Structure 1
Amino acid sequence: MDTEPMAPGLEPLLSVEELAGYLGVPVATVYDWRVDGKGPRAIRVGRHVKFAVSDVRAWVDAQREPAPSDSPRGR
C-alpha cells in the first residue's frame, strides 16, 4: 500500500480494489461490508468510493481480538 501523500497535507485514498488487495479479500467482500455497515468508513468522490488510509488503519485496529490475558477465560 502506497501511503505517500500526493500533495502536502493530503492523505492518500485507497480504491475498493486497493483496499481489497491490502486486506487480502475479494472486492465483493468490501462491497458486502459497505452494505452491512461493517467495513471502514468510506468517502464518495463522484461515482467512486475511496478509503482514507487513517480510517482503514483505525478500522483494522478495531478488528483486533483481545489478547488472551484481556479475556476472562485467559485469567
Structure 2
Amino acid sequence: MDDAGRFPVRRYLTTPDAALRLGLSPRTLEKHRVFGTGPVFHKLGGRVVYAIEALEAWAALGQRHSTSDPGKGTCRPARRTAGAVRR
C-alpha cells in the first residue's frame, strides 16, 4: 500500500533537520541565526523552523561554477560581521 498520499509534504524543517539538509552541524546553523548570516527562519511559538525554499535560496547564494566565478551572492561565515555592534 502506498502511503505517499496519507502524509503531508513537509514545508518546514527544525534546526537539526535543516542542518542535515544543508550538510552543516545544528550548532553552525544556530550561530548563523544569532549573527544574521544564515537562511531566513520562522519562530512558531518557541520553535524555530526553516522553510525548505529559504534553505535552498540561501544555499544558492554560494553556488559557483569555478573558483574565478564571483557568483550572485555570498554565504557569509557564521560569525559577527565587521560593522556589528555588540550589545
So what's the TM-score if we normalise by structure 2?
0.62
Q: Alignment partner of 2:48: what SS?
A: strand
Residue identity opposite 2:43 in structure 1: R
- Is contact 2:41–2:49 with CA below 8 Å preserved after alignment? yes
Report the secondary structure of 1:67's partner residue.
coil
1:6 lines up with 2:8 in the alignment: yes
Matched pairs, number: 64
Deviation at 1:68, TM superposition (A): 4.7
Larger Rg computed on CA atoms: 2
Please state which structure has a larger fraction of its residues in helix.
1
Matches within 5 A, 1:19-58: 19-58=18-57
Gaps of 5+ in 2: 1-6, 71-87
For 1:6-43, what per-residue CA distance to the aligned partner results, in whole angstroms no more than 9, with x for missing partners?
27xxx710110101111222111010000111110001
Listed as ranges, the gaps of 5+ residues in structure 1 are: none
Q: What's the offset of the Cα at 1:64?
A: 1.7
Q: Are residues 70 and 20 of structure 1, via their aligned partners in 2, closer, same or farther at CA, if it must alter by over 3 Å? A: closer
